[in-house]
């Protein structure tokens, strides 16, 4: 198992929203789905839109640029125009800290 690095605190992310964090030069979108945190690549595989700025509805985030949808649990593409997944990262919460496994 890889090393986990602190990237944010739980209080930084309101429920139902996401933020952008960076880990080792990777842009990662970190979401709070009702108290559970998920991390996927921030860069939409359609044309590079910022998924951390997308609307979160349950487990699904919608790209703010052209509406592609991704599962925040797995990074899988759920709706067009994207068809390729984004990476997904292991997340751990320790106290108030959110850690992501180093890619
Ligand atoms: S860049 Fe995300 S849907 Fe086009």
Which of 29, 45, 80, 81 has the most ligand 1 atoms within 8 A of CB, as the residue to mutate? 81
pLDDT at 12 over 90: yes
Q: What is the model's pTM?
A: 0.96
Residue 62 Cα to ligand 1 midpoint, Å, equals 9
Fold classification of 4-101 is Rieske Iron-sulfur Protein (2.102.10)
pLDDT at 83 over 70: yes
Confidence tier at 2 by pLDDT (50, 70, 90): confident
- Pocket, ligand 1, Cβ cutoff 6 A: 44, 46-49, 63, 65-68, 81-82
Contacts of 18 (CB under 8 A, 6+ apart): 29, 30, 31, 32, 51, 52, 53, 54, 56, 61, 72
* Domain regions of the chain by residue span: 4-101
What is the spatial distance between Cα 86 and Cα 72, in angstroms, rounded to a whole number? 9
Range 48-69 average pLDDT: 98
What percent of the chain clears pLDDT 90, i.e. is strictly above it?
A: 96
């Amino acid at each position: 198992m890889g090393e986990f690095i602190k990237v944010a605190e739980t209080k930084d992310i309101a429920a139902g929203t996401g933020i952008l964090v960076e880990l080792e030069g990777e842009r990662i979108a970190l979401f709070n789905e009702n108290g559970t945190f998920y991390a996927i690549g921030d860069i939409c595989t359609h044309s590079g839109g910022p998924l951390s700025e997308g609307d979160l509805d349950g487990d699904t985030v919608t790209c703010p640029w052209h509406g592609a949808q991704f599962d925040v649990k797995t990074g899988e593409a759920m709706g067009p125009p994207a068809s390729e997944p984004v990476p997904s990262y292991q997340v751990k919460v320790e106290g108030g800290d959110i850690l992501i496994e180093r890619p």
